[in-house]
Amino acid sequence: MAHSALLLATLLAFCALPTVDGKLQLCEVETGQSSIILDIEESRGSSVAQHTNPPELPISGDPNDDITLELVFPKGKPTFLLDGKSLRLIHPLDRDEENLSHIVFQITCMVRSTRRKRNIPIIVRVSDVNDNPPMFINTPYETTVPEVAHEIRPSADVAE
């Protein structure tokens, strides 16, 4: 019985360890999370030069030697290309026009030596750049403000 308990404890301890010799296993997310969250600004005009933050995907392994990475976009056309561990925009992002707050896709990571694959969800949050001037409807607005006012009250009604 004691031998079984020791064996079980050893197996559980081994399975709970995310590292081998103090290093992350290949294709593991370096933050310890099950998904990766990145940030990017919407494009200014037709620019596609902006980078994600962080600039590289936090996945353990070298994509030139140890692992292969492949982007999977389940909905619609791809937004990014892979350049090593960096994402590069294919087309400009317009948060306002596209009502775009985030982009969700997956990356498939495969360990070259074992052919073991892992799908990692990726969420890229798109932040707004103040690139659209405010638009006013039914302009100009006109009102009068008396010079001598005894009460504090609104001098004009503004409808939203």
Structural domain contains residue 138 = no
- pLDDT score of 46 more than 70: yes
| Average confidence (pLDDT) over 83-109 | 92
Do 62 and 89 meet the contact criterion of CB atoms below 8 Å apart? no
pLDDT recorded at residue 125 = 96
**How many structural domains is the chain composed of?**
1
Q: Read off the pLDDT of residues 61-84 as tens digits, 9 standing for 90 and up.
A: 999 999 999 999 988 789 999 999
Segment 94-109 mean pLDDT: 90
pLDDT of residue 159: 58
Tell me whether residue 160 is in a domain. no
Q: Is residue 58 part of a domain?
A: yes
In a domain, 147, yes or no: no
pLDDT (0 to 100) of residue 153 = 64
Q: Is residue 14 part of a domain?
A: no
Q: What is the pTM of this model?
A: 0.69
> pLDDT tens-digit profile of 110-138?
999 999 999 999 999 999 887 767 777 88
- What is the tens place of the pLDDT at every residue in 3-22? 333 333 333 333 333 444 55
Q: What is the CATH number of the domain that holds 86?
A: 2.60.40.60
Q: Give the angle subtended at the CA of 10 by the CAs of 8 and 13, to the nearest 5°.
A: 110
Residue-number span of the structural domain to which 104 is assigned: 35-127
Gap between the Cα atoms of 58 and 120, Å rounded: 11
> Is 62 domain-assigned?
yes
| Residue-level pLDDT at 27 | 96
123, 35 contact by CB (below 8 A):
yes
The reply to whether 135 falls in a domain is no
In a domain, 122, yes or no: yes
